[in-house]
A and B are shown apart, each in its own frame.
Chain A
């Protein structure tokens, strides 16, 4: 225990152990934040400064030239647009299908329900790497290679989402649904107007997780797109620029553009994201 005497009366007591703990944690936090900061400040440096020796931390003359070159000349805006198109299709549809299947599995009784539920659950145990080759063959048969459909269709249903929404639908009181039925609502209406609004927090969480997964998706788009026209951000980022030093500078600017929306999402939805990942274990 350290006692700091500040003035006549005020004595601040600081426990040494607690102080050391906080200092260690803050230093660790700075180490964790450093690569992000480094990416951030480097995106605003001219290429010559990025590849100069010795390196600088803050840009000497901040410029948008590197970002602008990456966005227009390297055409990252096309990849950005592709990523947006895929996410705009996959996120709402997969959230809706998850809620629908989850609702049906939770609120109705029908033959084969348990079997189908376990079948969906079982798909989560299959390593994605195993399915890569045969699903590629399926995409070939369906003539999906090099199309937006190839990037979108395999994401329209998600076993994880169905599982999550089924849990959420468990919290919807059956009496409420019955009340709507008595008032003459059809089942689709009961689902859309009664059940869905009640699970809005879960829908939002699933939408965020699906957006993150869609934005990060790498292996599948890498396999099914060979035309640059269809590259999403991760593919573009992995393949452009080459090994040259300026290439590294432009890639860094590209990484900044890729990550910016994610950091924005994190800043807004931090609570939901941390809670959902802590509870479910989606990715590692």
Chain B
């Protein structure tokens, strides 16, 4: 018995595909069928089927507990795009949030990452401090920030008051950070910058993967600090930059939780986002087909933007 096994193992193994053929694999079928069967069943039930089902149902007047579903063709889509002013309002709000979060937020993250990368002291503490907010559940964070933004006993208005008193300025008005339609979205965006640690860490990882020798070579060639940044750091950081922008866009376009907890979409729908609208249509008004149509329109927007960004950011060279 032992002999035959040894003989089989000693046989040269040609390729990866044939590797292990000489050894009896007891239970290999069970492993493959078990793992792939259960995972495919899972993703089939919770991802692929729902995706197809929602697409089909977006052409119906779909309500989950109703037996009869009425085919309405593209009228859900037509209503979203051409007759629903609230959808365009939500779209505008979402775009506003996404631009602030991606365009300004990304540079903020990069800026802090660059500063942190050149710090020599307290690096462990500094990294932990800038990263800590990422660990905090968005809901808990939103609660704390509502508390900070509270007009009367919130710390922000009181800090402004102290500053203006110290500078002998007139008493500032009580700002309703979350209750004024023109401020609410900006306040949520400011809160969101608090979570810069996540993207900052990705930039830091990118910065630290740039070999020191590149900078030394540039120095020998007489490049100054700016030139080294412009011609070494920037091009080598480009893949990280692209990744951060694409992921940031995808996530920003689906923002929901901070608005749900901080403002409930108000005041006057000024913080109503597309996913919030979708949530309301489905779970408040039971218009599932309509909400599904919104979700597919959002999906197309996300897809187009991601592909556009990936194409614009593609590099044609490698190191």
Contacts and interface: CB of A to CB of B under 8 A. Distances in A.
Interface in B107-140: 112, 115-116, 118-122, 125-140
Given A25-B119, A110-B32, A278-B205, A120 B247 contact: no
Contact of B254 (A119, A128, A140, A186): A128
Interface in A94-132: 97, 100-101, 103-105, 108-110, 112, 116, 119-120, 123, 126-132
A55 B162 CA distance: 12
Contacts of A279: 205
B270 interface: no
A215 B137 contact: yes
B304 interface: no
A104 B254 contact: no
B17 to A, nearest CB: 5
Contacts of B32: 104, 108, 110
Contacts, number: 275
A156 interface: yes
Contacts of A159: 43
Contacts of B121: 22
Main secondary structure, interface of B, reads helix
Contacts of B64: 136-137, 140
B46 A154 contact: yes
A51 interface: yes
A132 B257 contact: no
B224 interface: no
A19 B186 CA distance: 33
B289 to A, nearest CB: 9
A234 to B, nearest CB: 4
A283 B23 CA distance: 42
B88 interface: no
A97 B144 CA distance: 36
A55 B153 contact: yes
A187 B31 contact: yes
Given A129-B275, A284-B248, 12 more contacts: A22-B121, A35-B133, A35-B144, A53-B152, A119-B48, A129-B256, A187-B31, A216-B139, A219-B279, A277-B202, A278-B204, A279-B205
Pairs A-B, 6 closest by C-beta atoms: A134-B50, A29-B129, A278-B205, A255-B140, A134-B54, A187-B27
